[in-house]
Structure 1
Amino acid sequence: KEDKEKIKKAMNENLPRKMEIKEKIRIKTENGKIKTLECNLYPKYNNNEYVGIYGFFKDISSELDSSILNPIDYILNGFTHSQKLALLLDPFNPVTYSFTDGFYNIIGVKKQEYTHNYNIYKHIGEKKVVEKLKKMESGEVNKFDETFTFYKDKTTKKPINCELILENFYVNNELHTIGFLIDITQDIEKREHIKIIEKQKIIIKEVHHRIKNNLQILNSFINLEKREYSKEPELIIEHMQSRLNSLSILHAQTCESLDFENLNVNEAITQQEKTLNNLLNSHNDINFITYIDSELWMPISLITPLLLIINELTTNSVKHAFNDNTKNKQIYKHMKLIDGKTCEFVFKDNGIGLKDTKMQNLGSVIIKSLIKQINGTLELTVNNGTQFKIKFPINQEYVGYK
């Protein structure tokens, strides 16, 4: 509008007296794009008689630096052609409201079908956002800046994510509102995708680290048992097989849950029990009784030595705790949180009772070493069988119920 008036004025001011008109003017094309033209006009005479005007127009839009071209033109161009970004003027006024085309694309309504009584509120997912937007409409607040989910169609399960920014201002004591509506769905999806990729990288790195540590543990066990069972290599292989299976359970759970920090204790021990039963199928007359809360979680760094402890206790008990006279053979396991600082694990069998109560054999040495890793204490009771009660400190931030 400003340039239109400038040209009209120049054309009406007795142009023949002027040798030349040079102006930079802005026009809006049919598709709504704003261009800047360099205008050069000259008066034309024939035998001193004024004939008219000749000249040329040059499109200099691409030549102009943003500091020369009016920044508002750039903004308007951006809003005019964007389907994910909308400029809102007086959105609460049923007479003077004006929206760029992106608004109608975002809300999923054709421009010619939109009326001001279209209820935007019912399409917004968050009640708090609706309440705040109504306060903006009533004038209780002067600024609004929120992200929310918007359902174009209530039958559509997946909403889009929007950001809406509004602010009130006064012109000649009249209240007006200007704002921006932005469809940020793709941005959020990209950020979430990046988060998933980064998390997967961390998981892979963590899993590799744990595999390396576990292999070192197994290597230590092999070195210990090579000295103890040098004449029984098949026994070493059998022991290693059960330990490997226990560690593979943790590896599988970590990959399946995508949680490299915490795992479900009951799932880990239950799966270990099934694996050990398959390995020790010659002792299938033993009844395993396990009580562990299905909602108890612990970090892998704690579950790893615990499963190895259970592996050693189970293997030793199955092989040595019972004789042919033992009836109703049972192995009992129970784990619970005593308080916010301590966890208790009880392993008990109803066998003939442990003879080496000082726990000096190799299996006992391994068990005590693993208990030391978790800063635990062991209470041994031999009475109608053998009971191991292990108490260890916990960090409530990582150990507890989900």
Structure 2
Amino acid sequence: MDEPDRQRNLSGKNKEQADLSKQDKPSQKQVISKEDEPSQKQAVSNEDKSPKKWNVSKGNKSSGRQIVSDGDNSSKEQIVSKRDKSSKEQLTPSERESGKRLLSELSVIYSISSLSSFHREEELLHATVNMATLLLGVRYFGLVALCGDGYHVMASSGFKDPALLIKKIEEGKPNQFLFSFNCEKPMILFMERNNSITDRERRVYTIFANGIQTALSNAFTLKEKEKAEKELKTSLNEKELLLKEIHHRVKNNMQIISSMLSLQSNYVEGEAVNVLKESQNRVKSMAIIHEKLYQSNDLTHINFKEYIESLLYYLSDSYTGNSGAVTIKLGVEEIFLGIETAVPLGLIINELVSNSLKYAFPHGEGEITLKLHRRPEGFELQISDNGIGMPEEIDFTTTESLGLQLVSALVNQLDGTVKLKRENGTCYQIKFKELKYKDRI
């Protein structure tokens, strides 16, 4: 072989060895993944004197696995968490089971808290039975109230005969749960499962029992409150009927007195007839008040506008002979007054309107105006007519007329004042306040 050919062969072999050397170099370097910090890429040469050389491949990113191989071709598998750059250990089956039990218990406790939303005893007992059998897995359930002469089964499930519940309570087996508490009367809660009850389950059952106790206590309180309200309402209705009956009888008695005065007037003559008639009208004015009271929904106040309309209709009819052409005009607000104010005010109206009907219109024609309005300081009553007027020499405060004396006395009873105007007829202006009810001795 010629010398040039020998050199060409050597050159080719050297080139092949150089290529092989380049292919071996990646296996002699250490590639470190992004998760391994602080350095991110590092190459280790053959001259590195460390005892082991590691080659870490990227592996499958989706699975989170990385294969770490050493120089002796032995491999190790490492689980890398995607959420945390540091590796974490997986939960053991027992730990997972414990977590599930905890979540289940919390769910049951949350459901138990809903018992407080039941305010009726029947609804609460029904919900309690359902929760025990469906949620807590109880086979037998019973709630017993102890009475002086025995017991009363308030709720039960799983028993064909509730009397068997008492026998079950006396057994005292490990798969039974008993809880005693007081709620109006001593009570016993009984529950039984097919399997033995663990300590954790007993704690949940105790929470359940306490929830029943609180809810029952609230339900009993509400029941007693409703019972008291019902009794109070019944008592008020009875008193209302009694008051209506009293006003009705007072009105009837006054009507009898008025009728007797009317009959008596047939046996007298002259001024005595007018005296009896005036007395009859006064009794009638009070009788109408009691009539309005027993007809009203409010037994303490009457609609005074309606009362005035009834009274004036009666007075106008009573004096038909003298006032056939007399017109009565009303300007009255919708005012409600108590009997303390209504009786004296009704008598005042009766006296002043009767005087106008009897004396103001000798020719039988005229107009009477009555106004009643609420004022900031109380009330104002105005009764006027366009008749002949009251003579100047008569002082209504000192006159011997019984009617006007009654007006002055009744105005004082109302803590009011009265003024008389004699222009274009007669006008009485009365200001007063509503009287409050005073306790009788």
Q: TM-score, normalised by structure 2?
A: 0.46
Q: Between Structure 1 and Structure 2, which shows a larger proportion of strand residues?
A: 1
Q: Which has the larger radius of gyration?
A: 2
